[in-house]
Amino acid sequence: MADVLGSALDKVLHLSALVSTDLARFEAEAGLTASRIHLLWVLGLAGPATQRSLAMTLDVSPRNITGLVDGLVASGHVTREPHPHDRRAWVVTPTMLGEQTIRSLREGHADLARQLFGQVPADRLAAFVATLDQTIATFAELVEDPP
Amino acid sequence: MADVLGSALDKVLHLSALVSTDLARFEAEAGLTASRIHLLWVLGLAGPATQRSLAMTLDVSPRNITGLVDGLVASGHVTREPHPHDRRAWVVTPTMLGEQTIRSLREGHADLARQLFGQVPADRLAAFVATLDQTIATFAELVEDPP
DNA sequence: TATTGTTATACTCTATAACTATA
DNA sequence: TATAGTTATAGAGTATAACAATA
C-alpha cells in the first residue's frame, strides 16, 4: 500500500545514484570533479558568463566559483577574459578543450538516455514522463506552501 | 524523438535534486550532514555495525568512516562499543537520540513519498515503477557489459 | 600474514567575513 | 553606496599510505 509509494521514491533515487556512478566514470576519464563538470555544463547551456552569474545559477557562493574557475583554468578548460564593459568582472569562457569536454558530456548524456529509455515503448515512456511532471509540480507546491 | 529520452532522464535527475533539497532541510534541523545521515540510515537498516562493514556498505574508505563516526559520537547520535569477539574492532551503535533521528528520517521519507505519489492513480504508479525497474535493470546490464 | 582502525598528509567543496577595485 | 571578485579563515568529506594492535 504505502509501500508502493516508498518504493517508487526509492527507485527514483536508486536510478539517480546509478546515473551518478556513470558520471563518476566520466570524471575520472576527464580528470575533472562533479562541481567543475557542473560549471562546464552550465557554460555549455548559457554560453560565456561572469562569475557572479555562475554563482547564482549554481546556487553557490562567489568565493566557491573563484576556486572552481581557478581549477578549470589550471586544467585548460576555461579562460578568464576581462569583461568588455565592467572592469570589475571576468567573463568565463570555455577553451577548445572545454568545448570538447562539453560536447562529450552531452553525447554521454544522450547515449545514456538512449540506452536507458530506448527500449521503453513510446506510450509507456510518455506516461512515465507525465508522472514525473506531475510529481515535480506537486513538489513545487509543497515547497511554496508546506503542509 | 531522441528529445523525449533525454527529457525523461533530465526529469528523473530533477526530481532527485528536489528530494535532495528536502533532505537539506532535515540536515539543517538535525544539525547533521548528508554523509552522517547516510551512515545513520544504514545503521537503521542493518543494525549496529563495525566500521569496516560501514566502509564497505557506504563504499567509502575506512579512514573516512573514522571521521564520520567521530562526528556522530560528538553529536551524541552513536556510540563506539568494543566488539565482543574482536578486540581490533568497534561496534557502532545508535544512541536513543540516534534511534529517534533514524525514526524521523524514515517518517520524513514516507511522508515525502506519500505527498509526491499519493495523488497518482494506482495503475499509473504501477506502470511508473515498472518502467523504473526496467531502466534500472538495463543499467545493470550496461555496467556488466559496456557497449 | 591478514585485518581493523588510526595517524599523517593532502585535495576539493563549501561557507562567512573582510577587503580591493570599480560602478 | 552597491557590486564583482579575491584573500583569509574554517569545517566537512574524501583519498592514499604508513603504522599499531590484534587475529
Return the higher-pLDDT residue of A42 and B144: A42
Report the amino acid identity of residue B70.
D
Average pLDDT over residues A125-133: 95
Q: Which of A3, A25, A116 to mutate to test the interface with B (most CBs of B within 10 A)?
A: A116
Mean per-residue pLDDT over chain B, rounded = 94
List of chain B residues whose C-beta atoms are within 8 Å of the C-beta of residue A112: 9
Does pLDDT of B1 surpass 70? no
Q: What is the pLDDT of residues B114-146, one digit of tens each?
A: 999 999 999 999 999 999 999 999 988 877 776
User: How far apart are the C-alpha atoms of A21 and A28, rounded to whole Å?
Assistant: 11
CB atoms near residue A55 (< 10 Å): 18
User: How far apart are the C-alpha atoms of B90 and B48, rounded to whole Å?
Assistant: 10
Does pLDDT of B83 surpass 70? yes
User: How far apart are the C-alpha atoms of A72 and A65, rounded to whole Å?
Assistant: 10
Q: Taking each helix axis as running N to C, give the angle between helix A2-30 and helix B2-30, from 0 to 180 degrees, rounded to the nearest 10.
A: 100
Average pLDDT over residues A76-89: 97
Question: In the prediction, which pLDDT does B22 show?
Answer: 87
Question: In the prediction, which pLDDT does B2 show?
Answer: 59
Alpha carbon distances (Å) from A68 to A58, A71, A93, A96, B141: 11, 5, 13, 18, 35
Chain A nearest-CA distance from B112, in A, is 8
Q: What is the pLDDT of residues A104-118, one digit of tens each?
A: 999 999 999 999 999
Report the amino acid identity of residue A106.
R
Q: Are residues B15 and A139, on separate chains, in Cβ contact within 8 Å?
A: yes
Question: In the prediction, which pLDDT does A1 show?
Answer: 52
Q: Is B135's Cβ below 8 Å from some Cβ in A?
A: yes
What are the strands of the beta sheet with A78-82, ordered from one edge? A49-50, A90-94, A78-82
